[in-house]
């Protein structure tokens, strides 16, 4: 039957996946599936700060360059992930702040230089950038990160302005997990986006990661949440969808998982603001889930041997209907 990407093209959306660059180099089935089914790619790790600047002033662009070149060769767009995050920071940066050798003024310049260098390098080649990632706590307060502590809340607006200056055409996104439905955290994003846009800060998109777990149920008011960001004139996107479960797998759990994939996809297809739906890996062979959630897994649309799960068929049917 038709590939996911062929169906997505007809439906007028991008279907994306996170890409593990080691797997892309070493695993032919992985590479073929990436090409066949997806027309958007996101670097799972290689555009993060610890990867692109492992030593201060020493850049390692090669894996990220490889992905951008791969995408171009295969007619795929790229989502850039991610410029400002509290996690996967280079050790030289965190230790320099901890031991006081990097002060606030210098840190702000380091952040500006990082954003400028990375966004400029891929200027014109990134459709959407996750400019800031995971900046709120579950209760809607700003996350107590190195950025908030050292620079104060204005680092968010600064990051968007610097990214926009480096590539005015890239769509600039906020991005987080547990923000699928209407809740304290997604409302904090809504209020932030509204305020920033009123101030003329170039924020154009809201990225909903979509890391679900069947044992926690499906989030409420997803359509309403997308609609309120759309009403601000913003784009929305599902950026890291996966649906994990407590192992072992059984048919009931797989059916629930399939329905959760389908419901997120349908929410995107039903919202004018949403033109991009990305899964955080398409095979369990390389999923991040088992390494982080003990006893959980089977989160992606294909098993370890690229067998299609009901979730894969649900995505096909959803795209075909959309
Ligand atoms: O590259 C090193 C390797 O040199 C070393 O030998 C190995 C030993 O542990 O670690 C490797 O780094 C790992 C890296 O993935 C690359 O494989 C890190 O330990 C590991 O922590 C890291 O995990 C990534 C995680 O972000 C880090 O927080 C996952 O692959 C990645 O899927 C995950 O992605 C995040 C999104 O960026 C943001 N939203 C949540 C999502 C899931 O956590």
Residue 240 CB less than 6 A away from ligand 1: yes
* Rounded Cα gap, residues 318 and 148, in angstroms: 40
Q: ipTM score of the complex? A: 0.94
Residue 87 CB less than 6 A away from ligand 1: yes
Atom of ligand 1 nearest to the CA of 87: 28
106 is catalytic: no
Atom of ligand 1 nearest to the CA of 51: 1
Task: State the pLDDT at residue 275.
Answer: 98
Which residues in the chain come in under a pLDDT of 50? Answer: none
The pLDDT tens digits for 155-193 are: 999 999 999 999 999 999 999 999 999 999 999 999 999
Q: How far is the CA of 65 from the centre of ligand 1 (A)?
A: 19
Q: How far is the CA of 1 from the centre of ligand 1 (A)?
A: 34
224 is catalytic: no
Indicate which residue of 44, 53, 118, 134 is catalytic.
134
Atom of ligand 1 nearest to the CA of 280: 32
Phi-psi category of residue 3: left, alpha or beta, with phi > 0 → left and psi -120 to 50 → alpha: beta
Pocket test for ligand 1, best of 23, 44, 210 (most atoms within 8 A of CB): 44
Residue 178 CB less than 6 A away from ligand 1: no
Task: State the pLDDT at residue 216.
Answer: 98
Task: State the pLDDT at residue 26.
Answer: 98
Task: State the pLDDT at residue 163.
Answer: 99
Domains of the chain: 4-321 (3.20.20.80)
What tokens appear for 93 in the block?
A: 């940066």
Residue 88 CB less than 6 A away from ligand 1: yes
Rg (CA), the chain: 19
Q: How far is the CA of 15 from the centre of ligand 1 (A)?
A: 23
* Exposure b/e, 226-236, CB count within 10 A at least 16 = b: bbbbbebebbb
Task: State the pLDDT at residue 291.
Answer: 98
Q: How far is the CA of 45 from the centre of ligand 1 (A)?
A: 6
Residue nearest ligand 1's atom 27 by CA: 88
Contact between 52 and 93 under an 8 Å Cβ cutoff? The reply is no
The pLDDT tens digits for 51-79 are: 999 999 999 999 999 999 999 999 999 99
Residue 45 CB less than 6 A away from ligand 1: yes
In angstroms, what CA-CA distances link 155 with 15, 35, 145, 147?
A: 31, 37, 11, 7
In angstroms, what CA-CA distances link 134 with 41, 57, 80, 222, 226?
A: 20, 26, 15, 19, 18
Task: State the pLDDT at residue 84.
Answer: 98
Residue 252 CB less than 6 A away from ligand 1: no
Contact between 138 and 94 under an 8 Å Cβ cutoff? The reply is no
Q: How far is the CA of 107 from the centre of ligand 1 (A)?
A: 24
Pocket test for ligand 1, best of 25, 45, 178, 179 (most atoms within 8 A of CB): 45
Residue nearest ligand 1's atom 14 by CA: 45
Task: State the pLDDT at residue 64.
Answer: 98
Indicate which residue of 44, 53, 180, 240 is catalytic.
240
Task: State the pLDDT at residue 150.
Answer: 98
pTM: 0.98
């Amino acid at each position: 039957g038709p590939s996911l990407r062929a169906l997505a093209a007809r439906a007028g959306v991008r279907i994306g996946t996170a890409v593990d660059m080691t797997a892309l180099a070493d695993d032919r089935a992985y590479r073929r599936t990436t090409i066949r089914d997806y027309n958007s790619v996101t670097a799972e790790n290689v555009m993060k700060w610890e990867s692109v600047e492992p030593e201060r002033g020493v850049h390692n662009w090669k894996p990220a360059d490889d992905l951008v070149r791969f995408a171009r060769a295969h007619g795929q767009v790229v989502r850039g992930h991610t410029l400002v995050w509290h996690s996967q920071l280079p050790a030289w940066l965190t230790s320099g702040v901890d031991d006081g050798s990097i002060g606030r003024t210098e840190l702000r310049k380091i952040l500006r230089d990082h954003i400028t260098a990375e966004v400029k390098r891929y200027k014109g080649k990134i459709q959407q950038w996750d400019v800031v990632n995971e900046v709120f706590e579950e209760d809607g307060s700003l996350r107590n990160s190195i950025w908030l502590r050292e620079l104060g809340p204005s680092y968010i607006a600064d990051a968007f302005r610097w990214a926009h200056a480096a590539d005015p055409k890239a769509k600039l996104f906020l991005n987080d997990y547990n923000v699928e439905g209407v809740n304290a955290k997604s409302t904090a994003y809504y209020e932030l986006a509204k305020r920033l846009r009123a101030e003329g800060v170039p924020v154009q998109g809201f990225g909903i990661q979509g890391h679900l777990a069947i044992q926690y149920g499906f989030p409420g008011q997803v359509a309403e949440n997308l609609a309120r960001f759309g009403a601000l004139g913003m784009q929305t996107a599902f950026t890291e969808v996966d649906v994990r479960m407590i192992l072992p797998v059984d048919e009931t759990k797989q059916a629930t998982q399939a329905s959760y994939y389908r419901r997120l996809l349908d929410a995107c297809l039903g919202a004018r603001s949403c033109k991009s739906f990305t899964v955080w890996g398409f095979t369990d062979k390389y999923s991040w889930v088992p390494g982080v959630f003990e006893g959980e897994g089977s989160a992606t649309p294909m098993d370890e041997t690229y067998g299609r799960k009901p979730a894969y068929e649900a995505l096909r049917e959803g795209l075909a209907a959309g």
